[in-house]
């Protein structure tokens, strides 16, 4: 991108953002996220402008391919977005050493846990045998009071239902 292209296609703020995308070493990850967000917003605005102009030209019966300034602006912003995204990906891949170390630590912890069983209680207490059967002979089989059943209890208390 030469200096003669920048003033014609981009406004001052967009040209500044494109220049910032060329010098990314001193920027923090938060600044990169903010820069790529602003670049994407400007690129989307240029894309909407291209589409709107194409629709209006088509409605008038003209050809829609004459909007070269906005297309050039979109191309320059897209290149800047690609540079910033590439820098962000490179920084993420640099942190893979920490991620690998954390994954190795987790793998070692799982291996140590598998080697040392956690149950230290008595051997006769296991959950797979289920609850013990303790029949209660003091209650009626139906669960009703005095073993007469539900129908008899309802008819005695309130009448037929």
* pLDDT at site 63: 74
CA distances for 142 relative to 23, 93, 130, 136, 138, angstroms: 83, 69, 24, 12, 12
Q: How much is the pTM?
A: 0.54
**In a domain? residue 76:** yes
* C-alpha to C-alpha distance for 21 and 28, rounded to whole angstroms: 13
* pLDDT at site 95: 64
CA distances for 17 relative to 46, 47, 68, 73, 80, angstroms: 15, 17, 21, 12, 8
**In a domain? residue 139:** no
CB atoms within 10 A of CB 53: 14
Number of domains present in the structure of the chain: 1
Q: Give Cβ neighbours of residue 77 (< 8 Å, ≥ 6 apart).
A: 10, 14, 17, 18, 39, 42, 43, 46
Query: How long a stretch of residues is the chain?
Result: 161
**In a domain? residue 112:** no
> What residue ranges of the chain have pLDDT lower than 70?
1-7, 64-66, 95-96, 119, 121-157, 159-161
**In a domain? residue 16:** yes
**In a domain? residue 159:** no
**In a domain? residue 63:** yes
Cα 55-7-64 angle, rounded to 5 deg = 15
- Residue 2 has φ and ψ, to the nearest 5°, of -90, 165
The residue segments making up the domain with residue 92 are 5-97
**In a domain? residue 78:** yes
* pLDDT at site 37: 94
């Amino acid at each position: 991108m030469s200096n003669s292209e920048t003033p014609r296609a981009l406004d001052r703020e967009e040209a500044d953002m494109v220049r910032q995308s060329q010098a990314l070493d001193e920027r923090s990850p938060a600044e990169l996220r903010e820069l790529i967000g602003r670049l994407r917003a400007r690129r989307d605005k240029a894309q909407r402008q291209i589409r709107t102009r194409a629709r209006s030209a088509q409605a008038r019966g003209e050809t829609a391919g004459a909007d070269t300034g906005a297309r050039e602006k979109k191309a320059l912003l897209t290149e800047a977005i690609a540079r910033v995204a590439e820098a962000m990906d490179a920084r993420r891949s640099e942190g893979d050493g920490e991620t690998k170390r954390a994954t190795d630590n987790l793998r070692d912890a799982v291996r140590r846990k598998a080697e040392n069983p956690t149950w230290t209680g008595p051997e006769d207490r296991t959950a797979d045998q289920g609850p013990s059967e303790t029949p209660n002979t003091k209650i009626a089989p139906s669960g009703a009071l005095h073993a007469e059943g539900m129908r008899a209890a309802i008819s005695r208390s309130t009448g037929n239902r």
